[in-house]
């Protein structure tokens, strides 16, 4: 599954943000938010909440807060940065540049730290409370024999 391994690395890295309270949220490109919500709607639902769980289902990173879940899809060129550290330095289909102008989602925490999604080509998106039931079987939940049966 393309991007699946990267998203698992992003999930692991986002554990460094657990327990931190979101004090501000920015989505510089409003179209990056899916589900009919605006960046302001997203901020209203998440600011003031702490991240409590980081999960992954397929290529979807799920960041649970005390009230809502933020779903993040990275596409082929999106990268996660936690406190300005890029978890993956280079992607096959992305520029090697690390340009903050490509930030599509920025969560600022009350302690001053930041979790950002940097996506040069805008192939990813974010949404609030994604429908996890609409997703298929997770890639790490299936073995070779089961795959053969399918």
Q: What is the pTM of this model?
A: 0.89
Q: Which of 20, 3, 2 is nearest to 115 (CA)?
A: 20
CA gap 10, 17 in Å, rounded:
11
Task: Residue 6: name the closest of 90, 110, 67 by CA.
Answer: 90
**CA–CA distance, 82 with 114 (Å, rounded to integer):** 6
Question: Given this model, what pLDDT does residue 104 score?
Answer: 95
Range picked from 21-30, 120-129, 131-140 for highest mean pLDDT: 21-30
Q: What is 42-100 written as a DSSP string?
A: HHHHHTTPBEEEEEEETTEEEEEESS-EEEEE-TTTEEEEETTEESSS--TTS-S---G
Max avg pLDDT among 91-95, 115-119, 142-146? 115-119
What's the rounded mean pLDDT across residues 45-63?
Answer: 96
pLDDT for 109 beyond 90: yes
Percent of the chain with pLDDT over 90: 63
Maximum Cα interatomic distance, the chain, rounded to a whole number of Å: 49
CB 63 within 8 A of CB 19: no
β-pair type (103-109, 51-57): unpaired
pLDDT band with cut points at 50, 70 and 90 for residue 123 = confident
Q: What is the pLDDT of the chain when averaged over all its residues?
A: 89
pLDDT at 141 over 80: no
Q: What is the pLDDT of residue 2?
A: 55
Banded model confidence at residue 138, pLDDT cuts 50, 70, 90: confident
Average pLDDT over residues 63-86: 92
| Predicted local distance difference test score (pLDDT) of residue 108 | 98
List the one residue out of 131, 126, 130 whose CA is nearest residue 27: 126
């Amino acid at each position: 599954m393309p991007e699946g391994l990267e998203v698992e690395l992003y999930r692991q890295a986002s554990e460094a943000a657990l327990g931190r309270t979101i004090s501000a949220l920015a989505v510089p490109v409003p179209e990056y938010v899916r589900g009919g919500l605006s960046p302001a709607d997203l901020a209203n639902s998440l600011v003031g909440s702490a991240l409590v769980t980081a999960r992954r289902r397929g290529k979807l990173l799920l960041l649970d807060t005390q009230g809502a879940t933020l779903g993040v899809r990275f596409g082929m060129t999106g990268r996660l940065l936690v406190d300005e550290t890029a978890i993956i330095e280079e992607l096959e289909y992305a520029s090697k540049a690390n340009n903050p102008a490509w930030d599509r989602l920025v969560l600022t925490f009350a302690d001053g730290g930041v979790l950002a999604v940097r996506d040069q080509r805008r192939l990813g998106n974010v949404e609030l409370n994604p429908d996890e039931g609409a997703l298929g079987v997770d890639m790490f939940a299936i073995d070779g024999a089961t795959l053969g049966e399918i």
